[in-house]
Structure 1
Amino acid sequence: MNLDTTFEYHGSGKDTNRPQLKARLRHLRQGDRSHVHSIDRLARSLKDLQKLVEELTGQGISVQFHKENLLFSGDSNPMHKLMFQMMGAFAEFEHSMIRERQREGIAAPRKQGKQIGAKPKLTEEQLAEIRERLDSGEEKKALALEYGVSRQTLYNALN
C-alpha cells in the first residue's frame, strides 16, 4: 500500500496528547483515509476513541483499522460501529488491567519493606552532614560535586 505520509508513535495510546497524533490530525484533509494499525494504537479510552473517529468522519476523512478490518466513514454501518465500540471497550479494559497489575506489583514488595526504584544516592548521615554544611554557608553546587551527585539529586534528597 502506498501511503502519502506516515506518522509513527511507539508509546502508549493512553491519551490524545501525543505529538505524532496531533501532527496526523493537522495533516489530514477531507477525502483522505487515515490508516491505523489497530484500534488500541489510536486510543485506549473508549471516549477518546469515539471522539477522534467521529471528528475525523465528520470532516469527511475515513478511518481504516487494519488489524480489526474495519473502515469508518460518514456512512459507517451499524455492525461496524458495534464492533468498534466493543473493541474500544476491550482496549480500555486491558489498559485498566495493566495499570492494576502494575500497582499490585509495586505494592507487594513495599509491604515487605523492600526498596522500589533506584536506591538513594546519599545516606541519611550524608544528608545530615550536608544540611549542617549548608547552614554554615557552603554552596549546594560545591557539595553536590564533592558527594558525586548532581545538583538536582541533592535538591531532591533535601526535600
Structure 2
Amino acid sequence: MTGQRVGYVRVSTLDQNTIRQLAGVDVDRVFEDKASGKDQNRPELEEMIKFVREGDTVLVHSMDRLARNLDDLRLIVRRLTAKRVRVEFVKEQLCFTGDDNAMANLLLNVMGAFAEFERSLIRERQREGIALAKKRGVYRGRTPSLDTFRAAELCEKAAAGVPKSVLAREFGISRETVYVYLRAKV
C-alpha cells in the first residue's frame, strides 16, 4: 500500500498567492503557511510533519519554499525521512528518502546552499535599493501603524499595567510592534 501524497506550500506574506506552487500536482492534502521561511517556526510545517506517516510523500514546489537556509532545510528533510517519508522537490526534480546515496546528499547541500545564497543576494539588493532611494529623498520607510495620539495612548495603557498581548489585540498590531512603540517612548 502506498501512502498519501501531501503538499506543503509557503509564501512570506498574507497577500501572496500559493496557487501556482503545486498547480497540476496530484496531492491528497495540502498544508499552507503564510510565514517567512527564515526559520522553522511555522505552524502548518509542524502540523504537516506531525501528520505524515511512513510511506507518505511530501511534495514541495522548491527547496526555498521549505526552508531559506541550508541548516533548516537539511534538518526538516532529515525529520521527514526519519519517519520513512519521501520528500520531493518539484522544481528541482529531486527526491529524498533517507536511504540516499552520496550524490543525493551532495545535491541537497548544493541546491540548498544556492537557495540560501539567492536569498542573501535579494536582501543585499534590497538594502542597496533602499540606501539609494534614501539618498534621492524618495524613501520614507513604512507608514507607522499608529499615529502620534494612538502611540501615546498605547504607552499610557502599558504604563498602567495593561498586558502587552491585550494592547496588541486592542490596537491591531503585533506584540513586537507594541514593544517597538514602548522602546521609542523611552
Question: Is this a same-fold pair by TM over 0.5?
Answer: yes
SS at match of 2:32: coil
Give per-residue Cα distances to partners, 1:88-141, cap 9 Å, x unaligned: 00110111111112222223333455532227955xxx9xxx9xxx9xxxxxxx
**Structure 2 unaligned runs (5+)?**
1-24, 157-170, 174-179
Residue 5 (structure 1) aligns with: 29
Matches within 5 A, 1:45-124: 45-111=69-135, 115-118=140-143, 121-122=147-148
Q: Name the SS for the 2:59 alignment partner.
A: strand
Q: Which residue in 2 is equivalent to 1:137?
A: none
Q: Greater share of strand residues, 1 or 2?
A: 2
1:63–1:73 contact (8 Å) kept in structure 2 = yes
* Distance apart, 1:83 and its partner CA: 1.5
Deviation of residue 56 (structure 1)? 1.3
Could you say what secondary structure the match of 1:14 adopts?
coil
Instruction: Find the counterpart in structure 2 of residue 19 from structure 1.
Output: 43
Tell me the distance in 1 between the aligned counterparts of 2:111 and 2:66.
12
Contact 1:12 1:41 in 2 (8 A): no
Distance 2:93 2:83 in 1: 22
SS at 1:6 equivalent: strand
Identity %: 45
2:64 partner SS: helix
Residues 35-65 of structure 1 deviation map (CA, whole Å, 9 limit, x = unaligned): 1111111001000001111121122111111
Could you tell me whether the CA contact under 8 Å between 1:110 and 1:116 is conserved in 2? no
Match of 2:20 in 1: none
CA-to-partner distance for each residue in 1:125-158, whole Å, 9 max, x for gaps? x9xxx9xxx9xxxxxxxxxxxxxxx7x9xx9498
Task: Please identify which structure carries the higher helix content.
Answer: 1
Counterparts of 1:104 and 1:75 in 2: how far apart (Å)?
Answer: 43
The Cα of 1:30 is off from its aligned counterpart by: 1.8
Alignment of 1:32-43 (within 5 A): 32-43=56-67
Are the aligned partners of 1:44 and 1:91 in contact in 2 as well (CA < 8 Å)? yes
CA distance in 2, matches of 1:55, 1:61: 9
